[in-house]
Structure 1
């Protein structure tokens, strides 16, 4: 890769904005999120579950539905940071592949949910098995008490985060 124009100012600060404290929660959370959200991890899971199509968007939708159950297309769009148009195309491809189906929303006469088909659910179960195996590997040297403490702490963090996010969404 060509360097292009370089700023030769030797006073440029090359350090991160955040300090190097290994106990900084921001660093820890960022590290975990980047690991779990990385293309390399996703590609590895896709290969290990024999995902039938080499399409990351399709995989991400099946992954979301595996964790959350049936969802409205707009909820999927928001969760994955995609446009409604793109989500519609992905859901169409997933339907053609036999991984999802569109079903009526039980609480809304006009609403539609995207749900895993039997084949999609089987792949979702494989995704969950791979996720569990990955966690077991990462936590292999932890005691059962440490794993339980982590489970409780992470569940609490997720619960509080959802509560704060819902309050923010409801305020003008």
Structure 2
């Protein structure tokens, strides 16, 4: 829900939206480049393809094992894609399948201890890069950036839910603050 400082959508300067979109595209590009991923894997001492990283992160952050369909929905990808990635992650020992206690015919997937360690190693490398890149920022600026980014993502998710995209859920958004 917008705060009192929010303006009507018709009052938003289109130039600001253009610049924001450009900035977000640059960030997405920088964070998802193949070379950056390969460097992170070397620093972590692990092997994992780029498509598996968000999947394993999602599973590591989940409170309980998840069905493959739920994983696909949350990542906004097709179920066959998730099945292939899960098979790869199983082969590397990063995830395991377990029986669904509510339906023994169904299976859930969860990270192994090795998978959790891999996610944490990857996060540490990424956080180190961010810490180095933002070393000259003040603590106040870093806090403001984090708060505004969470607010933006929350608003994007709220808008997506209105138009029927339920890929991410409210329980994944604990950072609602101004």
Tell me the TM-score normalised to structure 1 length: 0.71
**Where do residues 86-165 of structure 1 align in structure 2 (5 Å cutoff)?**
86-104=81-99, 109=103, 112-165=107-160
Aligned length in residues: 150
The alignment's C-alpha RMSD in Å is 3.0
- Cα distance change on mapping 1:137 and 1:81 into 2, 3 Å: same
Is the partner of 2:51 in helix, strand or coil?
Answer: helix
**Where do residues 19-98 of structure 1 align in structure 2 (5 Å cutoff)?**
24-52=19-47, 55-67=49-61, 70-78=65-73, 82-98=77-93
- Report the Cα distance in structure 2 between the residues aligned to 1:67 and 1:139, rounded to whole angstroms: 25
- Report the Cα distance in structure 2 between the residues aligned to 1:139 and 1:105, rounded to whole angstroms: 44
Contact kept, 8 Å, 2:60 with 2:110, in 1: the verdict is no
Structure 1: which 5+ residue stretches go unaligned? 1-19
Contact kept, 8 Å, 2:40 with 2:122, in 1: the verdict is yes
- Report the Cα distance in structure 2 between the residues aligned to 1:83 and 1:158, rounded to whole angstroms: 22
**CA distances 1:18-72 after superposition (whole Å, capped 9, x unpaired):** xx98x8111111111111122222222122112235x333344324434556543
**CA distances 1:88-144 after superposition (whole Å, capped 9, x unpaired):** 2321222122110123457x5365432110010111110111121111012111000
Higher Cα radius of gyration: 1
- Report the Cα distance in structure 1 between the residues aligned to 2:149 and 2:160, rounded to whole angstroms: 16
Tell me the TM-score normalised to structure 2 length: 0.69
